[in-house]
Structure formats: structure tokens, C-alpha cells
Amino acid sequence: MRASKPKKPKTFAPSLAGRCLRYAVMDLLGFGRMLSEDTLTAMRAGSSWHRTFQSRLVHEGEVLGLEVPIKNEELGISGRIDAVIKEHDKMVAVEYKTVYADKYRQIEEHGPLFDHWAQLALYVNLGRYERGRLIVDNRESEERLTFGLLPSTEWETWLIVRIQLARRYQLQRMLPSREISLRCLHCDRWQRCFKTEEERAQMVQSHPLWEPNPPLPEQYFTAGAYGILSEPTEHSN
Ligand code: SF4
């Protein structure tokens, strides 16, 4: 009997870039998520919005590609960029998100959500694009917000360190410590971190601020992006 080939470790999805390290490692180790019916409905609606966005984009500008692969063998990253466009001779990676009205207002006031921004930063800094553009649509109105991102060595370093850390834990099949913050209240893997909702609420109350290691890139706060770090991720895509 032929020995079966050893399974390749799961790749790091760009959408994990801005998540808690423990969450990212759970994903790499194949842990399930607790998705509510509301979340699943929102995800399906999000996919449909994405298709509409991409089909309109094709008629609007110089689109070089849709669902453009991004791969980095060394870091074990694999994913797809919503679109790549050419603008003033620059290659621009485009990330499209939709959110409900309450979240939209927060983004309008405080800037992009960290998860969205980090995902785009990964495309730009590790995919070597000259610009990044985040487009956020309000699912309940015709409104749209657009943010631009430039390459930054600070982001590049932060992303590489976080991804390498996650990969190390993945290879050791170990979970890192919790990164407790308000984000735990919306995490769809929280049962792996707390025994009860009461315990979670207490721990979050005593440590509401997310303090990842290494600390968040300063550029996130200085480039007009002040997105709150307590955002629910379940109603965005
Ligand atoms: S519950 Fe909190 S610490 Fe646990 S994986 Fe989710 S965000 Fe991270």
C-alpha cells in the first residue's frame, strides 16, 4: 500500500491579517466557527453585493483583473484580491466591503475598521502594489466611502511578524494566549477562549483594549484611519 502524502499546512488567508493572533491560529489549525443564521444570511448577501460591484467596476475603469490571486510561498499566504485596476499608471489593489448602516456611520466618523485596513495593507505591502483602495458600501443606502492606502514599511514589518508568529504556532499545533479585548464580544470562536459568556464579559470589562504583540502600526492611527477596534465582524464581508 502506498503511503499517503503528508497534508500541506493550511495557508494564511489575507482576511486574517487584522485578527487576534489566537483567532488566526485557530483558523490555520482548522477550528470551526460558530456562525449564527443572521451571519450566514449577511455573508450570502455580501457575496451577491460583491458580484454586482465587480461587474459594474469592469465598465467603469481600467480593470486589470478580478479575483486576482495573491500568494507568498515563504509566508504561506494565499488569497484573492477583489480587483486590481490601473490608475495614472499605478497598479491599485481594491478591496470591497459592505456593512450595515450603524457600522457605516462609525467608519465615516472614525475611519476604516482595522480588519479591513489590515487586509488591504497585506495586499499592498506583501503583494507589491503601488496603491490600495478600500471601498465600503452601506447596505441600507446608496452611500459609499473610499479610502486610499500607500505602501509602508511599518505595515509590512507588522504583517510579516504577525504571520510568522501564527505559522510558528500552527506548526507546533499550539494556540497562543488570548488577546482579550472588546473584540472578543463579537468573536465567532469565543467558546475556545472562555467557559461562559459571563466569564467573557468580566474579562473583557477588565481588559477592553486590544494590545497585540507587536503593537499596532502607528500609521493606522495617523493616516486618517481611526477605526474602532471593537467592531463586530459578523455583519461585514
Ligand atoms: S475570543 Fe478573543 S481572544 Fe479568543 S480568539 Fe476571539 S478575539 Fe481572540
pLDDT digits (tens, 9 = 90+) for 10-69: 999 999 999 999 999 999 999 999 888 888 887 887 788 888 888 787 777 788 999 999
In the predicted structure, residue 2 carries a pLDDT above the cut 70: no
Distance, CA of 9 to CA of 237 (rounded, Å): 25
Distance, CA of 194 to CA of 21 (rounded, Å): 16
Find all residues with CB under 8 Å of 177, minimum gap 6, and list them. 22
56 three-state secondary structure: helix
Nearest CA to ligand 1 atom 5: 23
Taking the centre of ligand 1 as the mean of its atom positions, its distance from the CA of residue 171, in whole angstroms, is: 20
Domains in the chain, ordered, with CATH? 14-222 (3.90.320.10)
- Counting from 1 in the atom list of ligand 1, the atom nearest the Cα of 20 is 8
pTM, entire model: 0.88
In tens, the pLDDT along 180-194 reads: 999 999 899 999 999
9 conformational bin, left if phi > 0, alpha if psi -120 to 50, beta if neither? beta
Residues at CB less than 6 angstroms from ligand 1: 20, 22-23, 178-180, 183-184, 187, 189-190, 193
